[in-house]
Structures are given as structure tokens and as C-alpha cells.
Structure 1
Amino acid sequence: MPRTKEQFETMRNETREKIQTAAMELFVQRGFGTTNVQEIADKAGISIGLLYRHYKTKDELFHELVKFARTGLVRIIELFESDESPAKLMNQFVHEVYQDMVSGEQLANLMILMSQSFSSRAGADDNQNEAAIINQKLLTATSELIKRGQKCEEFVSGNSYEMAMYFFASIQGLAEMKVRLNNNFVMPSTSILTMFLYGKGD
């Protein structure tokens, strides 16, 4: 019996997901520059011809993954700009970060991929500029969230932008360590991740 249009679409999406998963893992572990298309196809368990039917170039595949990562950052910005209690929003986000880092690789991989988008050849275009803009918006939204929390005495005093920078530098560093250390990685508790917000201020 011939396959239906829906079945073809399901197969197509499954193949793209295999390619994306394989590429993400290789880009994170080896870097964009040292990963070739044949290795991605091999890891995905498909032919290189089938890969090229979905992505014309390695750069196109990289950009799609970075676009997916940027969407995640936009979601965080929208969360931090909502009207909920700053402490509640920060605790919700930190809990999500903790669960993602403990239970899987996706968050760590996406953060490393975003970092690579600033330095790789594939990132040297408008996509790189867009990534920089979104990262700046994320820092600004986090700084404003912390500032709101300070005004209602939920967070300690201090330079809110410096605190936001410290917070995301910590998460980025943990993502790098998770990938490099594998089974030896231990994720700090949520209370450690937010200690800078509740400890003694300057």
C-alpha cells in the first residue's frame, strides 16, 4: 500500500530530527569547523544524499540549530518581562535549568551552540548579529528583573547588570563542564545557583 502524505511528512520530520540531533552532538563535542557532513550523516544513520535533500550545506544546518536556540532565549526574555514576583520567576527559571541539566543534554548543548555561533565561520553574518542582539536583550531583561526584585526587597542590593552577567556566565560555564566532564559532572543545587541574589549585598 502506498504511503499517505501524512506518513511521508512524519518520515521527513523524523529524518530531520535525526540529522539535527547528530549535528548538535558533533558540533558541541568537536566544533563546527572540524565536523564534516559525512560524519553527521553517519551519526544520523542516513546516506549523505538524504542529508543533502534536507540541508543544502553544513552552514544551513548550523543556522537552523542556532535559530532553535535563539527561540529558547526569547522565551526566557518573555518570562522575565512578565508581571510575576521577580523571586518567583527567577526560582522557576533556575528550577527548569537544574532539571534540564540533570536529566538531559539539550540545554547544555544549546548554550554551547550559541557560544559557537559568535566565533565560528558559520556565525559570521546577520545570524551572528541577531544572536548578539538577543543575548544583550536577555542580559537586560535579567538585569531589570533583578532590579525589580531589589526594589521590593526580594533580592539583595548590588549592580543588577553585573549580577545578571554573573548569573548567565555561571550557567554557561556549567554547560561547558557538563559536556566536558560527562559522568563526573555534578550539577550544583538551585540554592547555590541563586545564592548571589539572597546573600549579603555590597
Structure 2
Amino acid sequence: MPRTKEQYEALRAASLAKVQAAAITLFARRGFAATSMRDVARAAGISTGLIYRHYETKEELFAALVDYAAAGLHRVVERFGEAESPAELLDEFTRTFLTDLAGDGAFAEFFLIMNQAFMTHDESPQLQRLRTAHALLVDAVIALVGRGQERGEFRSGRPAELASCYLAALSGLATMRLLPDTRLAVPGPSTLMRLLLRQDDHDRGNARP
């Protein structure tokens, strides 16, 4: 019995999802240059011929992932701009990131792909868009920290410095996830949030005049 159009589309969507998931992992772990379409097909459990039905080139596949990552960053930036408690917004984001890190790690692997984008001289529109989206995320975190300080939620200090420490911690955790050392443990949200949350005794001793 021939498949219906709906069944065909469902199979195609499932195959595409496997390709994208495999590509994210391989690009993050090996880098773009060291990953071939054959590698992605093998990791996705599909034939090399089938992967080319989804994407004609490795560059096209990478561009699709970059667009997806950039769109995700824009959604995070929009969420950070909402009129809620800055501490609660950042705690929500932290929990989402750490939950992903303890699971399949797709979001964390996107962080590594972003780092690769900043280390290449590729000026393609897709990478430019990703760099722009990342810059917006950094600005949004800085602004969120500033608002949190005004509300007495975050510790004193330059918002840019505090935001840099927080984002560097996320990037470091994403990188550590690739290490084979099983002694490494994903911290709880409260551990990361201590980088930002106000601690009255500490802040009084380090407050600027």
C-alpha cells in the first residue's frame, strides 16, 4: 500500500531532524571543516544519497543550522526584554540551559558552534547573522543585569563584567560537556546564579563609593 502524502511528509521531517541533530553534534565536536556530509549521514543513520535530498551541500546544511540558532537567540533576547523580575528571567534561562546540558546537549552544542563562528574569517551572511544575534544576546544580558541591580536583585559591580562572567561560565560548561572525564558534574542553577545574585554582606564590603 503506497504511503499517503502525510506519511511521506512525516518520514521526511523525521529524517531531517536526525540530520540536523547529527550535524549539530559533529560540527560542535569536530568543527565544520573536519566534518563531511558522509559523516553526518552515518551519524544520522541514513544513506549518503538521502542526506543530499535534504541539503545539496555541507554549507547549505550549516547555513540552515546557523539560521535556526540565530532565531533561537532572538527569541531569548525578546524574552529578556519582558517586564518581569530580571532574576527570575535569568534563572529561567539558566535552568533551561542546564537541563539541556544534562540531556542531549543540543543547545550547549550550539554555543560551541557560535564560538567557532567567531574564530573564523568567514563573512557569509549566515555567520554574520549569528554574530549579530550573539551580540544582541550579550547586550540583553548586560541590560538585564543592570535592571536587576536597580531592583536590588543582583550584586553591585559593572553589569558588563557580571554578564561576561555569567556567559563565560555557560560557554565553559558547554565545552566541558565534550570532555570524557565522568567526574565533571553539571552544577545546579543556584550555583550559577550566585555569580549575579545579591549577597548583602559581600556587596556592602565591595560597594563603590
Note whether the superposition's TM-score is higher than 0.5.
yes
Q: CA contact under 8 A between 2:97 and 2:108: conserved in structure 1?
A: no
Mapped to 2, the partners of 1:75 and 1:55 lie a distance apart of 25
Residue-by-residue CA offset, 1:125-184 (whole Å, 9 max, x unaligned): 111221111111111111111111111111111111121121111101110001123633
Mapped to 2, the partners of 1:74 and 1:182 lie a distance apart of 33
Change in Cα spacing, 1:14 to 1:120, as seen in structure 2 (3 Å) is farther
Mapped to 2, the partners of 1:8 and 1:142 lie a distance apart of 42
- Partner of 1:180, secondary structure, is coil
CA RMSD of aligned residues (A): 1.7
**Residue aligning to 1:39:** 39
Q: CA contact under 8 A between 1:33 and 1:120: conserved in structure 2?
A: no
Residue-by-residue CA offset, 1:30-50 (whole Å, 9 max, x unaligned): 111111111211222222121
**Residue aligning to 2:152:** 153
Q: TM-score, normalised by structure 1?
A: 0.92
Q: TM-score, normalised by structure 2?
A: 0.89
1:54-73 to 2 correspondence within 5 Å? 54-73=54-73
Q: CA contact under 8 A between 2:117 and 2:131: conserved in structure 1?
A: no
5+ unaligned residues in a row in structure 1: which ranges? Answer: none
Mapped to 2, the partners of 1:19 and 1:191 lie a distance apart of 35
Q: CA contact under 8 A between 2:25 and 2:106: conserved in structure 1?
A: no
Q: CA contact under 8 A between 1:81 and 1:141: conserved in structure 2?
A: yes
Mapped to 2, the partners of 1:76 and 1:169 lie a distance apart of 17
Mapped to 2, the partners of 1:22 and 1:90 lie a distance apart of 29
- Partner of 1:197, secondary structure, is coil
1:49-128 to 2 correspondence within 5 Å? 49-120=49-120, 123-128=122-127
Mapped to 2, the partners of 1:120 and 1:65 lie a distance apart of 16
Change in Cα spacing, 1:104 to 1:164, as seen in structure 2 (3 Å) is same
Residue 55 of structure 1 aligns with an amino acid whose one-letter code is: Y
Number of equivalenced pairs: 201
Q: CA contact under 8 A between 1:118 and 1:124: conserved in structure 2?
A: no
Mapped to 2, the partners of 1:45 and 1:152 lie a distance apart of 51
Mapped to 2, the partners of 1:176 and 1:48 lie a distance apart of 29
Residue 190 of structure 1 aligns with an amino acid whose one-letter code is: P
* 1:130 corresponds to 2:129: yes
5+ unaligned residues in a row in structure 2: which ranges? Answer: none
Mapped to 2, the partners of 1:138 and 1:176 lie a distance apart of 19
Mapped to 2, the partners of 1:17 and 1:180 lie a distance apart of 25
Residue 187 of structure 1 aligns with an amino acid whose one-letter code is: V
Mapped to 2, the partners of 1:15 and 1:91 lie a distance apart of 34
Residue 25 of structure 1 aligns with an amino acid whose one-letter code is: T
